[in-house]
Amino acid sequence: MRYPFLTAALFLCCLTTRSQQVVNVNSDNFSFTNRNNTDISGMVHQPIKFVKITAGTPFFNDQWMKARLFDGNGESYASHSVRLNLLDNDVSFLDADGTEMVCTIPVKKILLTDTTTGTQYLFVLGDQVPDVDKAQAGVWLQVLVNNSVSLCRQTKKTIHETLPYGATTTEDEIISADIYFVRMNGNFIRLKKWSDLLQLFTDKKDAIYQYIRNHHLNGKSGDDYTQLVQYYN
């Protein structure tokens, strides 16, 4: 039985106002001409606060990616230029003139495609996952395994901000930390460490530990978590 991670929704529209906007002085001026679906709308980023990102990124991927987005009615919308902001939990896209816009009503599900490698990445908003904690309801979760036992990853982004003496531009270091969750037996469980996952699979303990040894898994990467959950399923 598959749990309903994928029964998610979105409808994209615009707002007339938005709180403080941020300009990244590291960024190049974009001149993309990719045309987005006409049903996608948003708001132009208005620069107010200037920052210099010295390390890290707020995005899942800095590159603009091909994407398909889904709304609550099951409708989908295609775009060739989308970025997922995991710091603000925003979805940005480029309009026909190459201007960066931001979707202001939450997108519920998004499938990103790396056009260079063909790799696809599925994200759902936390409130679409049954039994999710309120702390994850408004954040993006990457679905790594969607099966009887499912696996999600939250890439949590935080900012370490400094203002050098005499400077007018804030320097930001964006730090990423991966948090893993398992959906199993009607529960959505946060894994604080690798051994927490092993404790969930005690009914197949011998086989699990043999698989770990054979494949040299140690829980230091998302691929380790994904492999083990897929094996258990």
Q: pLDDT tens-digit profile of 68-103?
A: 988 766 778 888 889 999 988 888 888 888 888 887
What is the Cα–Cα distance from 222 to 28, expressed in whole angstroms? 31
pTM of the model: 0.74
Return the pLDDT at 221. Answer: 93
Ranges of the chain whose pLDDT falls below 70: 1-54, 72-73, 104-106, 164, 167-168
Return the pLDDT at 106. Answer: 64
What is the Cα–Cα distance from 1 to 51, expressed in whole angstroms? 47
